[in-house]
Amino acid sequence: AQSVAQPEDQVNVAEGNPLTVKCTYSVSGNPYLFWYVQYPNRGLQFLLKYITGDNLVKGSYGFEAEFNKSQTSFHLKKPSALVSDSALYFCAAYTNAGKSTFGDGTTLTVKP
Amino acid sequence: GAVVSQHPSRVICKSGTSVKIECRSLDFQATTMFWYRQFPKQSLMLMATSNEGSKATYEQGVEKDKFLINHASLTLSTLTVTSAHPEDSSFYICSARELGRAGDRETQYFGPGTRLLVL
């Protein structure tokens, strides 16, 4: 079975500090990996994706993610966090069944 | 581009009534649309996948007769919660995958969600 894990329910960082939101995956074949962000009472917004090519993927709002095949990870990162980055973040993998499998989400809180 | 809208954004209804939620892809054609349910501070639960012109594929445990899904065109899918009860209260989110966009077949674009409260 294919799965996506986000081991941390909550991540707290101070504004200006770097942030990392972790994601590991278990999928068959070549993975297509995504990060989405959800603000309160809103749908999910696409941040970035890895399909192929460079392991470091850059996305919206200064976020980036690094694909690590050996560790089966796709951690989301940002060099300097903003208070406005506080939201719920979802990692997802696109499967060959045509569906996306989502992690359980990580709540990021950036404190001023 | 790739905007998905949902209507209504919020609905309050009495127990026993039916509620219809619309999901539209505004600037692209969606081969596939997905309906999710999300409980507070929880992940998305995929309810069903719908392809234009064919019957929706429901996930295990989702009642087909309770949650009617119609995907009549490449830009519109509807979810009807029939005979709604308080336990159906939730945040419902649709998403769409774009037809034919090279290199972007896999990305899902999400609607803003519909908050349903059944009294």
Q: What is the pLDDT of residues B34-65, one digit of tens each?
A: 999 998 777 889 999 998 888 899 999 999 99
Chain B's closest residue to A44, CA to CA, is B110
Measured between beta carbons, the chain A residues lying within 8 angstroms of B6 are 43
Please give the mean pLDDT across all residues of chain B: 90
pLDDT computed for residue B103 by the predictor:
59
Taking the CA of residue A43 and the nearest CA in chain B, the distance in Å comes to: 4
Residue in B118, B117, B62, B99 with CA at minimum distance from that of residue B109: B99
DSSP state of B62: -
Given an 8 Å threshold on Cβ–Cβ distance, is B41 in contact with A107? Answer: yes
pLDDT band at B98 (very low <50, low <70, confident <90, very high): confident
Maximum mean pLDDT: which of A40-44, B8-12, B26-30, B40-44: B8-12
pLDDT computed for residue B100 by the predictor:
65
Would you state the structure tokens that stand for residue A78, as one six-digit string?
Answer: 């940002």
Please give the mean pLDDT across all residues of chain A: 92
- Beta strand B90-98 with B114-118 is antiparallel
Measured between beta carbons, the chain B residues lying within 8 angstroms of A51 are 103, 106
pLDDT computed for residue B99 by the predictor:
67
E strands, B1-119, where? 4-7, 10-13, 19-25, 30-38, 44-51, 57-58, 67-73, 76-81, 90-98, 108-110, 114-118
Given an 8 Å threshold on Cβ–Cβ distance, is B112 in contact with A42? Answer: yes
pLDDT computed for residue B51 by the predictor:
86
Q: What is the pLDDT of residues B60-86, one digit of tens each?
A: 999 999 999 998 888 999 999 999 999
Q: List the single best residue of A25, A39, A42 to mutate versus B (max B Cβ within 10 A).
A: A42
Measured between beta carbons, the chain A residues lying within 8 angstroms of B3 are none
Across the interface, of A41, A46, A105, the residue whose CB is closest to B107 is A46
- Mean pLDDT, 10 residues at a time, over chain A (112 residues)? 91 97 90 91 90 90 94 97 96 80 94 96
* Residue type (1 letter), A63: F
Residue B30 has pLDDT above 80, yes or no: yes
pLDDT band at B101 (very low <50, low <70, confident <90, very high): low
